[in-house]
Structure 1
Amino acid sequence: MRWLKIMLLSMTTAMAAHGSVTKTPFGTTPDGTAVDLYTLKSEGIEASIMTFGARVVSIKTPDRDGKIADVVLGYSALDGYLADKSTYFGAIVGRYGNRIAFGKFSLDGNQYQIPTNNGANSLHGGTVGFDRLVWKGRAIADGVEMTLVSKDGDQGYPGTLTVHVRYTVHHGALRIDYSSSTDKDTVLNLTNHSYFNLSGDPKKTILDEQIMIPADQYTPVNPVQIPTGELASVEGTPFDFRKSTVIGARINEDNEQLKIGGGYDHNWVLRGKNGEVKTAARVYDPASGRVLTVTTTEPGVQFYTGNSLNGAAYGSAQQSNAKNTALCLETQHFPDSPNHPSFPTTELKPGEVLHSTTTFTFSTQTK
């Protein structure tokens, strides 16, 4: 009997270490496509991912006192996500995350036009990006794999693209592994668009949270938020977060770049080589003690302070979020890279498999 107890205890411990994955229905889209929700549990974290947009719906973690709360913005039902076509809450955005000037780029001597849905520019893949599609989910060890096939010509992009995105949890961390291949030369820039509020209270702003971004340069933008092509030093500017700084400390300074974005909405050039794991950011909420550390193999990170959140209500629950109540850390290649040859390339060719990894690790610290 004693050996049976020991065996059961060992099995329980192993299950806790490896985590659990459960799948439940999460409604249907207007065309009748079923949407599933996968809930991933491991020590110190519970994350829910749905097949509509391969979105992060919730991330629950403890504060310094052990109180569990959801630290990302989202909706309690699918209809909120269906109605909200502007925030991209929790979604995998693509085929090209961020902006492409005038929705135009050249590749192999051919000119391509993609939909413009952000003034004169294209944002996050176009009018029907990856965030608006239902992905195919498959439970895997410690997580879920989401798969999407984007046909040649989808939103004007060349090549049939196959994308696999794996979400896994382990010891307080949510890891995202991207893997993509194509049958024709194309451009690609995938990222996750989760909105974080480490207080766990979506009514509080993130302006009192502190952030560190280990980057010596950022990419300034023109008045319509397209990079100028310059890699500008952060030295002596409100964009210097090389030391942990209160987010709201300089957000309202008389700075042209801050005025363009209505706050922070820029790409930072991360230290280290593209493809190597590096720290993208560290966020600390003094009130709750929660800490978020982001690592990535990508060359850049878009730090966005929720400037366009305006209290608009979505879905049957009429849930809304106000300005600056969350921040995004979108690990990425640089915006408009296809039109800036000096930026790290976003081209993907047949026979290649493009891999990238981003990990969001949650912890706590004392006051």
Structure 2
Amino acid sequence: MVHLIEQEFGTFKGEPVKKFTWKSKSGFSVSVISYGAIVQAIEVPDKHGEINDVVLGFDDINGYVNRNTPYLGATVGRCANRIGGASFQIDGATYELAKNVGIDHLHGGIVGFDKVNWKSVVDGNQVIFSYLSKDGEEGYPGDLVTSVIYEVKDDTLYVEFVATTTKKTVVNLTNHSYFNLAGHELGAAELYNHVITINADKITETTSESIPTGKLLNVGGTPYDLRVPKRLGDLMATTSYDDNYCVSTHGNEGMNFVSRVEHPPSGRYMELYSNQPGVQLYTSNFLPAPGDAALVGKGGSGYRLHGAFCLETQKYPDAVHHPNFLTTILKPGEVYRHRVSYAFGVVETEKPAVVVA
């Protein structure tokens, strides 16, 4: 049985920010807030019954408003990831977007979906956040009505993104939670103990500025081959990750297995399923490096380089410029639907099978 609790989480521009928390008898709980439609906390028991919060974040609204440059837990849109040159064309018309990472556009722009307070409503066990992004916002065409639906059942977080538009526009939403299954505050030393599998035999090739070239690269024989479980610490001795993986079984009806991550010392695992063709693996490469001032998060914890991983389900980045990628253009009359689930549990055996990288 899961109980849903509604609370206040401060105010933003004079409006209340709502916090919703699901709690289960197992000790598993999830908290989301209306600002940025953000996942604020996920508490998971380990193999000894000890409960830890496994996502990075902040204790109050001021942290999210003033310090959340890494998009901790955020709903990202209208378009997650990068759009090369911060512009695109639809039907011969050129749309100029905010250049917020060099000459390119990242995660919806300067004031993206992560920086607004969404309307909220409770429907049974679901929390539904909604936001109207008006025609021209951050340069995008069309009024876009977006909903993010959160629900918790059986120690699993279910998320659905839904959007409709009044004009042809670009839509590619994702959740940008940062996970450390040892505990949000335990940093790179424990991130390296995670064992990861991703159901993908290709990645999208990118330039030095992380803009896709349009080519798909086979992962076989490279550090990007995560089709069998591998320890992140072994891989990250030579490689850090900020790459879009092409889900091998996308196209099958329904939800497809995307990834499994285990943390053997605690026994916790997370399994990811989605209907999206891609997933971005990101190993917190832009959090502060050792020696620099840490990003201060929940409980005064200092978040630093490689302190967590992200698995951002999505369509391929910069798809609007690559006809061979599944389109991110949404037309009037169509409904954008992106589903993803995060299942948490404890492994039954002491150690997963690991292939040495």
Q: 1:276 aligns with which of 251, 254, 274?
A: 254
The CA deviation at 1:176 is: 0.1
| CA shift in 2, pair 1:290/1:316, >3 Å | closer
Shift of 1:252: 3.4
2:335 to 338, 353, 356: 353
Pair 1:142 & 2:142 matched = no
| Residue identity opposite 1:323 in structure 2 | L
Could you give the per-residue CA deviations for residues 52-99 of structure 1, whole angstroms, max 9, x where no partner exists?
000000001111111111110011111111112421000000000000
Amino acid at match of 1:324: H
Q: CA deviation at 1:239?
A: 0.1
| Whole-angstrom distance in 1 between the partners of 2:298 and 2:248 | 44
CA RMSD of aligned residues (A): 1.5
Matched, 1:363 2:340: no
CA contact (8 A) 2:46 2:267 kept: yes
TM-score between the two structures when normalised by the length of structure 2? 0.92
Once the two structures are TM-superposed, the CA of residue 317 in structure 1 deviates from its matched residue by: 7.2
Q: Distance in 2 between matches of 1:313 and 1:247?
A: 22
| Contact kept in structure 1, 2:297 and 2:303, CA below 8 Å | no
Counterparts of 2:146 and 2:176 in 1: how far apart (Å)? 17
Q: d(CA) in 1 for partners of 2:104 and 2:320?
A: 13
Aligned twin of 2:294: 312
Alignment match of 2:202 (pick from 209, 214, 217)? 217
Q: Identify which of 249, 259, 264 aligns with 2:241.
A: 264
Match of residue 204, structure 1, among 178, 187, 190: 187
CA deviations over 1:88-145 (Å, ceiling 9, x no partner) = 0000000000000111111111111110111111100000000000001111222311
Counterpart in 1 of 2:89? 106
Q: Is the 8 A contact 2:283 2:309 kept in 1?
A: yes
| SS at 1:57 equivalent | strand
State whether structure 2 residue 276 is matched by structure 1 residue 291.
no
Quote the Cα distance in structure 2 between the aligned partners of 1:125 and 1:317.
Answer: 29
Which residue identity does 2:232 align to in structure 1? I
CA distance in 2, matches of 1:24, 1:164: 20
Q: Could you tell me the percent identity over the aligned residues?
A: 40
Tell me the CA shift for residue 343 of structure 1. Answer: 0.4
Aligned partner of 2:108: which letter?
Answer: G
Q: Which residue of 1 aligns with 2:14?
A: 32
Q: Over residues 131-179 of structure 1, what are the superposed CA-to-partner deviations in whole Å (9 max), with x where a residue is unaligned? A: 0000011112223111011001110000000111110000110000111
The match for 2:311 among 312, 329, 334 is 329
Q: Distance in 2 between matches of 1:43 and 1:303?
A: 31
CA contact (8 A) 1:147 1:163 kept: yes
Q: CA deviation at 1:319?
A: 4.7
> Which residue of 302, 318, 321 corresponds with 1:339?
321
What is the letter of the counterpart of residue 157 of structure 1? Y
**Pick aligned residue for 2:105 from 101, 119, 122:** 122
Compute the displacement of 1:358 (Å): 0.1
Contact 2:56 2:297 in 1 (8 A): no
Paired residue type of 1:308:
F
Q: Secondary structure at the match of 1:83?
A: helix
Question: For the Cα contact (< 8 Å) 2:40–2:58, is it kept in 1?
Answer: yes
SS in 1 for 2:212: coil
Q: 1:240 aligns with which of 203, 211, 225?
A: 225
Aligned mates of 1:363, 1:67 — CA distance in 2: 13
Q: Distance in 1 between matches of 2:138 and 2:43?
A: 35
The 1-side partners of 2:301 and 2:261 are apart by 26
Query: In terms of Rg, which structure is larger?
Result: 1
2: distance between equivalents of 1:201 and 1:145? 26
Query: In structure 2, what is the Cα distance between the partners aligned to 1:334 and 1:153?
Result: 23
**Structure 1 position 277, deviation (Å):** 1.2
One-letter amino acid of the counterpart of residue 331, structure 1: T
Equivalent position to 2:211, from 217, 226, 234: 226
Give yes or no for contact 1:75–1:319 (8 Å, CA) kept in 2.
Answer: no
Please give the alpha-carbon distance, in whole angstroms, between the structure 2 residues aligned to 1:272 and 1:147.
30
Aligned-pair CA distance for 1:220: 1.8
User: In the alignment, does 2:63 pair up with 1:86?
Assistant: no
Matched, 1:96 2:79: yes
Cα deviations by residue, 1:232-291 (Å, 9 ceiling, x for unpaired): 0001100000000001212232xxxx4xxxx10000000123463111110000110001
Q: 1:315 to 1:246 in 2, by over 3 A?
A: closer
Structure 2, gaps ≥5 residues long: 351-357
Partner of residue 156, structure 1: 139
- State the AA in 2 paired with 1:216: D
Shift of 1:315: 7.9
Do 1:70 and 1:200's aligned partners in 2 also have CA atoms closer than 8 Å? Answer: yes
Using structure 1 for the length normalisation, give the TM-score. 0.90
Is contact 1:266–1:304 with CA below 8 Å preserved after alignment?
yes
